[in-house]
Amino acid sequence: DTLIPLDWIDAAVERNLRDDDPLPIELGVDVARFGTNETVVTLRTGNRVEILKRFKHIDTMQTAGQVARLIQDYNAEVAKIDADGIGAGVYDRLKEQRHPVRAMHSGAKARDDTKFLNTRAEWWWNLRTKFEEGSIDIENDDDLISQLSNIKYKLNSQGRIQVESKDDMRKRGIESPDLADSVMLAFARAKNPPARIRARSGGRR
């Protein structure tokens, strides 16, 4: 029931992928505020992963400022932000400033809702496939490796894939997978284009 086996993760650490052409340069942002959880920003360059920032105990406006700076510094095409809960404020502020951001809602209906319980399960399965196929290159970070290897999944009564929630992980004594979630978001497929692109094209915001 382990979502991503440790040997797949170890292989991704050892892997050295060449940059894709053209490169998608995207950020995955898992937002926390106070408490033990971390806000984590991950850079995806093609199929290569780098943890850019991890920080605790800053408010949503400071987080928005940090993400805005990283979008500019790395010329990111989009920052995909966990907008369920506290992350919604970060997304709203960056959207207001016309940065290229997407609101990611993990509890929404999956594209393939016959196979996946929700978008979170679908996004995680997409990341799992990259590890299985050998098409992802991650850094050697003990915390990231531990978090990726501790996530479990199951089939529910309808035969749909369900990925373990953060609350269920805490019940097992496992820390919140903030780094792993930010990597997952960096590779997640969103249903809508970034807010700034929609605004420029005349679509609804």
Cβ contact 40:143 at 8 Å: no
Burial class (CB in 10 A: 0-12, 13-18, 19+), 39: buried
Cβ contact 15:137 at 8 Å: yes
* pLDDT number for residue 79: 98
Closest CA to 82 of 172, 204, 179: 179
Query: In terms of DSSP bridges, do strands 161-163 and 153-155 run parallel, antiparallel, or are they unpaired?
Result: antiparallel
* pLDDT number for residue 195: 63
Cβ contact 49:180 at 8 Å: no
* pLDDT number for residue 167: 85
- Rg of the chain's alpha carbons, rounded to an integer? 16
Tally the C-alpha atoms within 13 A of residue 184's C-alpha that lie toward its C-beta: 26
CB atoms within 10 A of CB 61: 11
The CA distance from 51 to 112, in Å, is 29
* pLDDT number for residue 205: 33
The CA distance from 117 to 155, in Å, is 9
pTM of the entire structure? 0.91
Q: List, for residues 147-189, the tens digit of each pLDDT value.
A: 999 999 999 999 999 999 888 898 899 988 999 999 999 999 8
Closest CA to 139 of 43, 64, 69, 56: 43
Residue stretches of the chain with pLDDT short of 70: 191-205
Cβ contact 39:178 at 8 Å: yes
* pLDDT number for residue 192: 59
Cβ contact 3:131 at 8 Å: no
- What CA–CA distances, in Å, run from 176 to 66, 122, 146, 191? 21, 19, 11, 26
Please state at what angle helix 119-133 crosses helix 178-187, rounded to 10 degrees: 80
Closest CA to 48 of 132, 138, 129, 125: 138
